[in-house]
Amino acid sequence: MERRKHFNKMSLADFWIVLLGCSALCHTAPTISPTTLPEDDDLAERYLSQFYADVGMKNTSMRSITNSSFSQDLRAMQAFFGLEVTGVLNNKTIEVMKAPRCGVTDISRYGHFPGKPKWEKRLITYRITQYTPDLTQNQVDKTIAQAFQLYSDVIPLDFKQVYSGTADIMILFKGGYHGDFYPFDGAGGVLAHANSPGQGEGGDTHFDDDETWTLTQRGVNLLLVAAHEFGHALGLDHSRDRRALMYPTYKYVDTNGYRLPDDDRRGVQTLYGSRTPVPTKKPKPPPGPEPEEPAEDPNLDPLPNPREEQCSRDLVFDAATSIRGDLYFFKNGYYWRKSTTFQGIRLTKVNTKWSQINHVDAAFEVPSKDVVYLFEGRQYWGIRAYAKTIISGYPKSLTNLGLPSSVTKVDAAVYESTSRKTLIFVNNQYWSYDEGRSQMDSGYPRFISQDFPGIGTKIDAAFENFGYLYFSSGPRQSEYYLPYKRVMRVLLNYGWLNCY
């Protein structure tokens, strides 16, 4: 059965909600912080039952919640929203639960719909059968086309409006009952809904005409709602990235020059690939002396040149890590830096930053210590994260970490902040290093495939971002939610480097 997505507006701000009912509304007596109100008990039960009840489900269609499972689901919810993970209700958690939001579960198998449905054609037609009186027909046509163009700019799909017959995506504005099993509920409730790709009603998108549709911040902004819904119509599920168009909760952002955010672009490109720019013919230069070759950058070797691989779908990372919120991706003795403080991607040669290091095999950050560790061969260095300088006393041997002397190179390493463990990957096995005790855990190494199903048997690079682990194996990358040992999405490495 196709999954249908909805928008919801439950306050003065413009928010989306999806009505996805839980199979059973179950009750329990959760552990509650003394500062919460008694009525918050039922709210928390309903919230977790609707949005987190599928976590850990096997072959059952219904799930009863025990105190233990309530705490487990509450931890998952707190981790998802970046709250302190306690498994106990508190005012901050209740505040998030009361906020308007999307109704689809936050822990799903993929960032796409199950089975990854998508359109198997390159030209998608759409038809608007009923318009809203809030805007002119011309304004609606232009805005709907603009919403589709956000996607056609980055994927090899084209969208064409037709004015008769049955289109691939049928669009209408109507309030209340409008021909499906999901009647709208009047102003201030459900704003719109859309089907995932497929035959028949697949992709069809409906907007509640009891809302006030606008092209500004007031009322309900049609461009943002339509772009979100068309993401569902193309096969995108919700994102946990707060900056994404497909994030469960949303309010107005400036639409002037609006482009598809990075997370949404990566998701839709994983389904459909990237749009290849059409080459333009350069005018023939006038007769004259040949221009001089540009001076060679002394920091860049002629071969291999990572700059040429930056936007290759076959890009393989040597290592990756976060450093104080920025992401560093290492390749062939260089690193790309993706920062929150400047636009674009910067490429730097490793030994121009750290003269003792020529090539980085693995890297990880321990934020609580404000230290980053870089590995090369049998040695590793400690780097002060705030100053990006090597700490006195390094390099040290891999055996200092408790690795056997037979290990000549680390493939990847990542610090997991919840458990305070560093996972060190070598070939098809991994070790767990306890940062609190500064020693290797007993019982290791273990096989990667045994403890991390779905990510492959050998890891080239790993890092943590927004509470998720990212494991790169070749050009592909698994977004992994460790508490439930589940792959959320499969991405391509190059998507992190602003490649369209």
Could you give the residue numbers annotated as active site?
229
Task: Return the DSSP state at 438.
Answer: T
| Alpha-carbon span 171 to 148, nearest angstrom | 13
| Alpha-carbon span 312 to 305, nearest angstrom | 12
| Alpha-carbon span 227 to 16, nearest angstrom | 12
Lookup result for tokens 């062939």: 332
Beta carbons of 79 and 27 less than 8 angstroms apart: no
| Alpha-carbon span 336 to 348, nearest angstrom | 7
SS3 50: helix
Q: Comparing C-alpha atoms, which of 472, 482, 351 is closest to residue 413? A: 472
Helical spans, DSSP H, in 121-261? 137-152, 222-234
Distances (CA, A) of 225 to 15, 138, 288, 336: 9, 18, 55, 34
| Alpha-carbon span 209 to 45, nearest angstrom | 33
Phi-psi map region of 56: left, alpha, beta (phi>0 left; psi -120 to 50 alpha): left
| Alpha-carbon span 21 to 120, nearest angstrom | 30
| Alpha-carbon span 294 to 331, nearest angstrom | 24
Beta carbons of 459 and 412 less than 8 angstroms apart: yes
By residue count, the chain amounts to: 500
Tokens matching residue 135:
């805007």
Beta carbons of 8 and 17 less than 8 angstroms apart: yes
Beta carbons of 488 and 480 less than 8 angstroms apart: yes
Helical spans, DSSP H, in 303-453? 306-309, 350-353, 448-451
Tokens matching residue 391:
């700490």
Phi-psi map region of 349: left, alpha, beta (phi>0 left; psi -120 to 50 alpha): beta
- For helices 67-80 and 40-51, the axis angle rounded to 10 degrees is 80
Within 8 A by CB and 6+ apart from 56, the residues are 69, 72, 484
Other CB atoms closer than 10 Å to residue 441's CB: what's the count? 13
Tokens matching residue 325:
């919120």
